[in-house]
Amino acid sequence: MTARNILSYSYEEYVEKITAFHGYPAPGVLIGGFMVDLAVKNLPEGILYDAICETRTCLPDAVQLLTPCTFGNGWLTVLPMGLFAVSLYDKFTGEGVRVFLDVEKMGPWQEIRNWFLKLKTKKEQDSERLFKEIREAGPDILELRNVKLKPGFLEKKHKGKIVLCPQCREAYPAQDGELCLSCQGGSPYL
Amino acid sequence: MTARNILSYSYEEYVEKITAFHGYPAPGVLIGGFMVDLAVKNLPEGILYDAICETRTCLPDAVQLLTPCTFGNGWLTVLPMGLFAVSLYDKFTGEGVRVFLDVEKMGPWQEIRNWFLKLKTKKEQDSERLFKEIREAGPDILELRNVKLKPGFLEKKHKGKIVLCPQCREAYPAQDGELCLSCQGGSPYL
């Protein structure tokens, strides 16, 4: 069995880490580990980088576990476009790399292909084979390209002035309008 | 000094944990710890719960560190309404609790008030006093109410069929249209 590493972790340590954080070793977080590993190794050393995940599923947890970028600290942005891709980029210049899955490289890894393209239901999946393929394929199913961010995505949004909502009495960003977004209809509660 | 706990952690252990994950002990993640602690303690024991954060700032990291809910596993939803509030709710019934900050309780904690309402710039903040107040105030600045989710927020979104985008050749959810959302103009890259 090929020795596999994901940044400073052995593959097995990474599996333990994601099981503790994500709840279970989901295929998307396992593959995400190789994706982040490849991206980090292709960045210039010592730069401060931010991350974009192009899907909300699984991949954000690989980024949060392996890089300084978390959702709550704002260095990870999730753009829910349903694409299984991640980019890491210099937070000042916007230059960086994007890693994504290449279906054309999945020939030898049919169970990964079945999972990725949802060609089998979860019940039909051969999980044992899928996990074996993920470990063996490692970065071989990945593709990398250089990217540069559009200027609009580099600007940090600021909340501006904080005021109390006249309806719910909670603090909210004044720029959202005369009521907070929740009282404007965004509330998820009955 | 009052002993403080955040779920199974001592306050000091929690500070260490968030420093490792979030990068630094941000006031919002510290207070967020007390918020999640209060919410968890007010849920029936043994239920499976999901989480909603009503802000993208800081609070999501407290949820991710203290509960099974992460962004990538889909049990944490972030509704970016700029409200510093979190709810935990039974994922089947939608019944749960919402914890938020109550400005009216901040009388004895002026530096928390200054931070929360952005009455001082970061430079003017007395960080030492702010951290001291956060630890001392603990849950005393929090308010809790019972909530029930609107049915639309309980439904899990499914990606449906996956197809290859005819333009970029990457896999995307067919329901998004004839091209992936990135090729439709959502791409953050030049």
What confidence score (pLDDT) does residue A185 get?
96
pTM, two decimals, is 0.96
Give the mutation candidate from B83, B103, B146 for the A interface (greatest A CB count, under 10 A): B83
| CB spacing of B103 vs A148 below 8 angstroms | no
Question: Complex ipTM, two decimals?
Answer: 0.96
Helix (H, G, I), strand (E, B) or coil at A153: helix
Mark which residues 7-36 of A lie under 8 Å from B by CB. 21-23, 26, 28-29
Other beta carbons within 10 angstroms of residue A187's beta carbon come to 20
Indicate the domain borders of chain A. Answer: 5-153, 159-189
Whole-angstrom distance, CA of residue B40 vs CA of residue B29: 16
| Gap from A4 CA to chain B (nearest CA, Å) | 23
CATH class belonging to A159-189: alpha beta
Q: What's the pLDDT band for B158 if we cut at 50, 70, 90?
A: confident
**Which CATH number applies to A5-153?**
3.30.1330.130
Query: B183 in contact with A at a CB cutoff of 8 Å?
Result: no
Task: Per-residue pLDDT tens, chain A, 190 aa: give them.
Answer: 678 999 999 999 999 999 999 999 999 999 999 999 999 999 999 999 999 999 999 999 999 999 999 999 999 999 999 999 999 999 999 999 999 999 999 999 999 999 999 999 889 999 999 999 999 999 999 999 999 999 989 887 788 999 999 999 999 999 999 999 999 999 999 9
Mark which residues 43-102 of A lie under 8 Å from B by CB. 52, 54, 56-62, 64, 68, 70-75, 78-79, 81-85, 87, 98, 100-101
Annotated ligand binding at A69? The verdict is: no
| CB spacing of B101 vs A56 below 8 angstroms | no
Identical fold, B5-153 and B159-189: no
Tens of pLDDT, residue by residue over A111-167, are 999 999 999 988 999 999 999 999 999 999 999 999 999 998 988 778 899 999 999
| CB spacing of A78 vs B71 below 8 angstroms | yes
